[in-house]
Amino acid sequence: MSTAIHPESLMMSYGYKPELSEGAVKPPIFQTSTFAFKTAEEGKAFFEVAYGLREKAQNEELGLIYSRINNPNLQILEERLCLWDKAEQCAVFESGMSAISTVMLEFLKPGDLLLYSLPTYGGTDHFINYFLKSIGVECVGFRANQTKEEIIELVEQSGKSDRLSLIYIETPANPTNDLIDIRMCHEIGARYSSGERQVYTAVDNTYMGPLWSSPLQHGADLVIYSATKYIGGHSDLIAGAVLGNGEIMQRVKTLRTFLGNMASPHTCWLLLRSLETLKVRMEQQARSAQEVAKFLEAHPKVTQMHYLGSLKPSSKSYDIYTRQYSSPGAMISFEIEGNQPGAFRFLNKLKLIKLAVSLGSTESLVQHPASMTHVGLTQELRDRIGITEGLIRLSIGVENHEDIIADIKQAFASN
């Protein structure tokens, strides 16, 4: 899978053979549910591999069988996504939530212990606290500011340390940009792993996106994306992805086959198109975010910034930041004066920046975490992690940064 050519140079061609599609430069949409076998023997051979009855021969590719198992658009997309994260294998799902829930269902069984970082995406939090708990999975959350020793103490206090099966973290965390040390989580996992029992670490890297961090290189076993965000990048589809080594991904892909939650050929085709511009989009978004953050930082009505480019070099977060990330990304949260009324007045005045949840798209998006994406959290948890009534989350798009800043300026002026 590794290659000396940069991923962005391969996004237009990698994994696709025009000669198999009438010479078409771009992969057509393989809008088909099933694939004809040349002979019965070929069908038998394909199924033996798909169902794990025999290992693939050298150079043998999994033959096309049925679009719940594989489809050219799905396979090409998965091969291209592997390049960004330097992963052996990828599985694409019909949503970020289906990617997350499939990983949790595969690696957690009733009686097991899940260790996870707080806060997580609202849907993830709901799946953990309502679904996993209902099937008897013990779930213990920790916060970004807790030390390794404190986290180990939480695992011990649960009384289930021998059943720890998955460490699930979201870093940078949505919406506060809190950072979690992936290497530390890997070490905690190693401490509780034994020969037959491996504790895997899964990282939701949606908030940063695939360009400027490679969690697998820092000790993660699985990296997860809501591909709805930066990867899709145009607010026109819902999808998810999981990446990791061949052995782990075989388990994830097998469960996907039987849950049937793979992405459709059309969604995969849209994502292939999105990937061609992933780097130019994200680089522009991060450049503009830097300008917008500079403006916000200097604004008298802004009382606090949550932007990775504003971290103090002496902080613990800065140390994690320099090790795990090579850009501050394009997500900015900030607090403004006046609590919820002040925040709502500001939000209602914005014109260019759209008031909507989601992030990572070409258009700038703004929302109010305390009453929108994170309203499902308890007040106590919101207070502990800094999701205040004055907090605003901003996702920077590809508009000219001067126009984004002018929009923010006029919204503040009339506030």
226 touches ligand PLP by CB under 6 A: yes
- Window of 95-103, 181-189, 291-299, 336-344 that interacts with ligand PLP by CB under 6 A: 95-103
Burial 342-381 (b: 16+ CB within 10 A, else e): bbbebbeebebbbeeebbbbbbbbbbbbbeebbeebeeeb
Q: For residue 281, what are the contacts with CB-CB under 8 A and spacing of at least 6?
A: 230, 233, 362, 398
163 touches ligand PLP by CB under 6 A: no
Residue from 63, 123, 219, 338 binding ligand PLP (CB under 6 A): 123
Q: Which 190-219 positions form the footprint of ligand PLP (CB under 6 A)?
A: 204, 206-207
Burial 230-247 (b: 16+ CB within 10 A, else e): bbbbebebbbbbbbbeee
174 touches ligand PLP by CB under 6 A: yes
Nearer to ligand PLP, 75 or 261 (CB): 261
333 touches ligand PLP by CB under 6 A: no
- Window of 69-77, 105-113, 226-234, 336-344 that interacts with ligand PLP by CB under 6 A: 226-234
Gap between the Cα atoms of 154 and 39, Å rounded? 58
Burial 37-48 (b: 16+ CB within 10 A, else e): beeeeeeebbee
E strands within 29-112?
Answer: 89-93
Q: Give the shortest CB-79-to-ligand PLP separation in angstroms.
A: 21
96 touches ligand PLP by CB under 6 A: yes
306 touches ligand PLP by CB under 6 A: no
256 touches ligand PLP by CB under 6 A: no
Q: Give the shortest CB-92-to-ligand PLP separation in angstroms.
A: 11
The full length of the chain comes to 415
For residue 224, list its beta bridge partners.
Answer: 204, 242
- Window of 29-37, 82-90, 225-233, 315-323 that interacts with ligand PLP by CB under 6 A: 225-233
- The answer to whether 85 and 227 have CB atoms below 8 angstroms apart is no
The residues that touch ligand PLP, with contacts defined as CB under 6 A, are 95-97, 121, 123-124, 170, 174, 204, 206-207, 226, 228-229, 238, 240
